[in-house]
A and B are shown apart, each in its own frame.
Chain A
Amino acid sequence: MTTTIDLVSYEDALASYDPVMGLEVHVELGTRTKMFCGCSTELGAEPNSQTCPTCLGLPGALPVVNATGVESAIKIGLALNCEIAEWCRFARKNYFYPDMPKNFQTSQYDEPIAFNGYLDVQLEDGTSFRVEIERAHMEEDTGKSTHVGGATGRIHGASHSLLDYNRAGIPLIEIVTKPIEGAGERAPEVARAYVRELREVIRALGVSEARMEMGQMRCDVNLSLRPNGTEKFGTRSETKNVNSLRSVERAARFEIMRHAAVLNGGGTIIQETRHFHEDTGSTTSGRVKEEAEDYRYFPEPDLVPVAPSREWVEEIRAALPELPLARRNRLLAEWGISAVEMQAIINAAALDPIVATIDAGADAASARKWWMGELARSANESGTSLDELAITPAQVARVTELVSKGDLNDKLARQVIEGVLAGEGTPDEVVEKRGLKVVSDEGALTAAVEEAIAGNPGVADKIRGGKVAAAGALVGAVMKATRGQADAARVKELILEKLGVSEG
């Protein structure tokens, strides 16, 4: 595993070669039961407690298709602008593997339920890129093996393995792109943006939580290079089971640099599976198979064809929720912001919290301001994501409410948020405990204003003379005297009133 790999710099690679990618994403559906049996899919159960004759592959057991699994596949197909098959079948993909109980995977082969679609994705700078979808098909997950006796639970060097089949049979949708051409140097970025957009679509459809870190969504990155200006695809490598957005981008980037080095050196790329290593950002070759796989696909005789009626498909289409792209475009218009601003929100993963904050009663501008300002900064500093911050959208909404009621000013509001993030309680509790209420007692304020005028006669004269802008200095003095707890706008009003000047 320590063999060094020659790499060419990314820029040099792109100077000579044009990358072509194919992305295969497996999504575990969030159905209550498995694809072909009634076992629960609940996570965290004790080993082999969610198995039955069917998903254990016991002799005699038979599969029955989960209707919600099919419906979810159709939803995904429609969301990806695919055609939905009028008639399709399951097929058996035959190969032996210990974590696959029947030693064939029930999948779909040449008759996928959804095919010929596309997904428009947006890159960091707001540019749009269309990724063509080849197909989306239904299949089932495998069990899980734990390797014992070797280093760090790897297969390599293990003395034996332990198998848990709770995951075996959980529905998967495999989504395969057509070859992605023309992305050039932005190929890795396209890969990442595609997987992210796909994840958002899946989540919006409610068919899966699509949490990559939990293995609910996994991506295989197929990549090849061809000399710039040529048409014919080069030989591809298949980097398997990449499980974060960042890794998808890094894996593509690494493979571009590795392929270029091999090709520059006069070598040839071997068509092989490779494994991505999170720690080093590199890929290594999988076990070389002595013989090419021959999956001997044939129609699954234990299942009958799936022929979704057009009525059903249209019903599903009509009930589809608003999809992420449409939603972004709608919000962009509603909020009157630019595409670049929207992209910044997306990049910060702030869209959902902002919308949730608005839903909780805040106005759009304030919600954006807090999430993209104070909260983004805080998340950045602590190296977490926005949804991991210890504050809820409802709490942010409450802070904006206190501000708009005049109970807090921005400075105090920041302190309230800081308190909530620090675990001091709800916004109201923080206000209470820290004593952060805006001073609105007119008597106390009037006294502070009079004191400030008395202490700064020169400034007061300028204001009397019409230089309203000079009021800022007196406001500052009042704020200082009240330790920031006064409502600045009211202070300014009082000063002008006392000095007999009106604004504007």
Chain B
Amino acid sequence: MPGITREEVAHLARLARLELKPEELEHFAGQLDDIIGAVARVSEVADQDVPPTSHPLPLTNVMRADEVRPSLTPAQALSGAPAQEQQRFKVPQILGED
């Protein structure tokens, strides 16, 4: 499966929101290829009928009662904000959907 192209790396970087420099794209393409090539061995077990383990302990149903706990104060919530305005986090214009 390996053979990661520069374009694929660029696509991954967009998904991961990393504005990689051209030389980084090049560099990572090679390294990811090596790593993926090495770890792809896990697919040896792909056909085996074993359940996947997403969690090391067999816990279920850990829930809390619907009871209000104290929140942070707005000042605490905003204490790390790179910018703020009107008690809200101030961010550059969003190119989201309109």
B75: nearest chain-A partner, CB-CB: A48
Contact flags B57-92 to A (C-beta < 8 A → 1, else 0) = 101111111111111111001101000011111111
Give which listed residue, B60, B70, B73, B94, contacts A155 with CB less than 8 A: B94
The segment from A254-262, A297-305, A341-349, A405-413 that touches chain B is: A297-305
Q: Are A304 and B97 in contact (CB under 8 A)?
A: no
Given contacts A98-B94, A155-B98, contact A69 B66 (CB under 8 A): yes
Chain A residues near B96: list those with CB within 8 A.
Answer: 97-98, 155, 287
In Å, the complex CA distance between A212 and B70 comes to: 29
**Among candidates A48, A49, A163, A287, residue contacting B97 with C-beta atoms closer than 8 Å:** A287
| Chain B residues in 8 Å Cβ range of A298 | 54
Cα distance A427–B74 in the bound complex, in angstroms: 48
> Which of B70, B90, B97 touches A286 (beta carbons < 8 Å)?
B97
Q: How far in angstroms is the closest Cβ of chain A from B75?
A: 9
Q: Which residues of B contact A52 (CB under 8 A)?
A: 69, 71-72
Closest to A50 in B: B71
Instruction: Flag whether A369 is at the interface (Cβ < 8 A).
Output: no
Q: Assess whether A51 is in contact with B94, with CB atoms less than 8 Å apart.
A: no
Chain A stretch 109-158: residues in CB contact (< 8 A) with chain B: 145-149, 154-156, 158
A275 touches B98 (CB 8 A): yes
Are B90 and A66 interface neighbours, CB within 8 A? no
Whether B63 lies near A47 (C-beta < 8 A) is no
The answer to whether A66 touches B63, judged by C-beta atoms less than 8 angstroms apart, is: yes
Contact, CB under 8 Å: A162 / B93: no
Asked if A307 meets B60 with Cβ closer than 8 Å, knowing A39-B71, A273-B97, A287-B97, the reply is yes
Tell me, yes or no, whether A87 is within 8 Å of chain B by CB.
yes
Q: How far is the CA of A491 from the CA of B57 in the complex (A)?
A: 85
- Chain A, residue nearest B15 (CB): A294
Interface pick from A30-38, A220-228, A330-338 = A30-38
Query: In the assembly, what is the distance between CA of A435 and CA of B95, in Å?
Result: 65
Per-residue interface assignment for chain A, residues 258 to 300, with 1 indicating a CB less than 8 Å from any chain B CB and 0 otherwise: 0000000000000001010000000000110001001010110
Which of the residues A40, A160, A165, A286 comes within 8 Å of B77, measured between beta carbons? A165
B77: chain A residues within 8 A (beta carbon): 48-49, 51, 56, 165
Whether A68 lies near B66 (C-beta < 8 A) is: yes
Most buried by B among A160, A294, A301: A160
- Tell whether A89 is near chain B: CB-to-CB under 8 Å: yes
CA distance A165 to B89 in the complex (A): 9
CB nearest to A149 among chain B residues: B93
**Using Cβ atoms and an 8 Å threshold, which residues of chain B touch A38?**
64, 67-70
Q: CB distance B11 to A291 under 8 Å?
A: yes
Contact of B74 among A48, A98, A306, A307 (CB under 8 A): A48
Enumerate chain B residues within 8 angstroms of A89, measured Cβ to Cβ: 54
Number of chain B interface residues as a range: 35 or more
- Docked complex Cα distance between A273 and B96 (Å): 12
The answer to the question of B17 belonging to the interface, with a C-beta cut-off of 8 Å to chain A, is yes
Which of B63, B70, B74 interacts with A70 by CB under 8 Å? B63
* Residues B97 and A305 in contact, CB atoms below 8 Å apart: no
- In chain A, positions 16-50 with a C-beta closer than 8 Å to chain B are 31-33, 37-40, 46-50
Q: Which residues of B contact A37 (CB under 8 A)?
A: 69
Bound form: Cα–Cα A308–B63 in Å:
11
Interface core residue of B15, B71, B72, B73 (most chain A CB under 10 Å): B71
- Whether A67 and B64, one on each chain, are in contact in the complex, defined by CB atoms closer than 8 angstroms, is yes
Question: Do B62 and A65 touch across chains, with their CB atoms under 8 A apart?
Answer: yes
B41 within 8 A of A: no
- Specify which chain A residues have a CB less than 8 angstroms from the CB of B27 in the assembled complex: none
In contact, A31 and B90 (Cβ under 8 angstroms): no
With the chains together, A98 CA to B91 CA distance in Å? 8
Interchain CB contact under 8 A, B55 and A56: no
Residues on B with beta carbons closer than 8 Å to the beta carbon of A47: 74, 86-88
Is A363 close to B, CB under 8 A?
Answer: no
Contact in complex: A163, B89 (CB < 8 Å): yes
A195: min CB distance to chain B, Å = 22
Chain A residues with Cβ below 8 Å from B85 are: 148, 160, 162
Tell me whether A159 is interfacial, beta carbon within 8 Å: yes
- The CA of A155 and the CA of B79, in the complex, are separated in Å by 26
Residues of B within 8 A of A499 (CB): none
A161 contacts the other chain (CB 8 A): yes
A53 interface contact, C-beta 8 A: yes
B59 to chain A, nearest CB (A): 4
List the A residue with the shortest CB-CB distance to B88: A162
Chain B CB within 8 A of A450 CB: no
Inter-chain contact A301/B54, CB cutoff 8 Å: yes
Query: What's the least CB distance linking B97 to chain A, in Å?
Result: 5
15 A-B pairs (CB sep. < 8 Å)? A31-B66, A33-B67, A33-B69, A47-B87, A58-B80, A89-B54, A155-B97, A158-B94, A160-B92, A286-B98, A291-B14, A304-B57, A304-B62, A305-B59, A306-B60
Other than A32-B68, A50-B71, A164-B89, give 17 A-B pairs with Cβ distance below 8 A.
A32-B67, A37-B69, A38-B64, A38-B68, A47-B87, A58-B80, A68-B65, A96-B17, A97-B96, A155-B95, A161-B92, A163-B89, A275-B98, A287-B96, A299-B54, A304-B59, A305-B60
CB-based closest 5 A-B pairs = A38-B69, A162-B88, A68-B66, A67-B63, A299-B54
Q: Which residues of B contact A (CB under 8 A)?
A: 11, 14-15, 17, 54-55, 57, 59-74, 77-78, 80, 85-98
